[in-house]
Structure 1
Amino acid sequence: MEASDFALLVLRLVLGLTMAAHGYNKFFGGGGIPGTAGWFDSIGMKPGLFHARVAASTELTAGLGLALGLLTPVPAAGFVALMLVAAWTVHRKNGFFIVKEGWEYNLILAVAAVAIAGIGAGRLSLDYLLFGTSGVYAFLHGWWGLLIAVVLGLAGGIGQLVIFFRPPAPAS
């Protein structure tokens, strides 16, 4: 085992389990799905119940998928879509820096996931275990992994915004 494989495992686990925790919290924390649905409605992502379920499910599955290194570009695309929607709907108006609730954190999470898709999940991953000796593995990292993560992620995020986002009217 190389140090880089261990480093990728640590990065995948921290990034993936952090995202999965956000999904878990949407399902079971505080107000659960009904509370999350009300929040989605309030930011203009309607219908809120649909988006609460989609966001919670995507955060949970993308997070676990990245942590496990399973079909890595696909969960990385989930990160891109999630973070694009969060940055646009919630954080954009606050500027860049997270200390003012800006979109800095969203950018870091999305780019880190895309970087993992480009580098590959490493030898300590399900991708390597299941596909390491097959031609499929070539599509799970490198330029293909990068392309899959970016294109699918942007398509998912932009599509969701175009179809569902209706900004609330400014308060008078």
Structure 2
Amino acid sequence: MDPTAISATELDVASLVIRLALGPMLILHGLNKVKGGLDGTAGWFESLGLKPGWLHARVAAATEIGAGLIVTLGLLNGLGAMAFVGLMAVAALTDHRGKGYFIFKGGWEYVLLVGIVAVALAVMGPGRWSLDNALGWDFTGLGWGAIALVGGLLAAAGMLVTSYRPAKNEVSA
């Protein structure tokens, strides 16, 4: 099949399906942190080496809910994708690092896939059935894919440099 033969409607459907898979999933992750009790999430973050845990629990929950919401709505597409990349990079380097590739062993397979799909969405765009389209905004294309990837990784690196303090025996994991 000639790739140029893909219709705009087919791309719009693909974008919508991706947004409806990624966005609500991340919203639920954020709501789970809140529902489970931010104090419990804070303790878990502290055990991962994210200090102060109380702050990171709140920032993570708010970022997950916010990024999930804007991706679901197709609003600020490239920026939403960048938040996904940042969140997944932090998760990969704190909770999943040293556990191998496969998620069933606690590995980083899942967070890598979510991050890659978010970058693809930044390149492809949220489609016609999005708030970006309704507002005439264009946060889409190769440049926005690069911004989502590099910006997300830089945001994750900045957070880790300033806040990641694992116990000495956890650093080599």
TM-based fold match above 0.5? yes
1:124 offset after TM fit, Å?
0.8
What amino acid is the match of 2:77? Answer: T
Q: Secondary structure at the match of 1:121?
A: coil
What is the DSSP-based 3-state SS (H/G/I as helix, E as strand, rest coil) of the residue aligned with 2:11? helix
Instruction: Say which of 102, 107, 124 aligns to 2:107.
Output: 102
* Moved beyond 4 Å, runs of 4+: none
Trace 1:11-90 onto structure 2 (pairs within 5 A): 11-28=18-35, 30=36, 32-90=37-95
Q: Shift of the alpha carbon at 1:3?
A: 2.2
Give SS of 1:152's match. Answer: helix
Matched, 1:159 2:158: yes
| CA distance, structure 1, for counterparts of residue 85 and residue 17 of structure 2 | 20
1:168 offset after TM fit, Å?
Answer: 1.8
CA RMSD after TM alignment:
1.3
Aligned residue identity for 2:93: W
Query: Structure 2 length normalisation: TM-score?
Result: 0.90
The counterpart of 2:10, out of the listed 3, 6, 12, is: 3
Equivalent pair of 1:40/1:46 in contact (CA under 8 Å) = yes
Secondary structure at 1:93 match in 2: coil
**Structure 1 stretches of 5 or more lacking a match?**
none
Identity over the aligned pairs, expressed in percent?
Answer: 50
Worse overlay, 4-13 or 110-119: 4-13
Per-residue Cα deviation, 1:1-56 (whole angstroms, up to 9, x for no partner)? 7122112111101111001100011112x2x1111001011110000000000100
Please report the TM-score for the alignment, with normalisation by the length of structure 1.
Answer: 0.91
Partner of 2:4: none
Map of 2:144 onto structure 1: 145
One-letter code aligned to 2:18: L
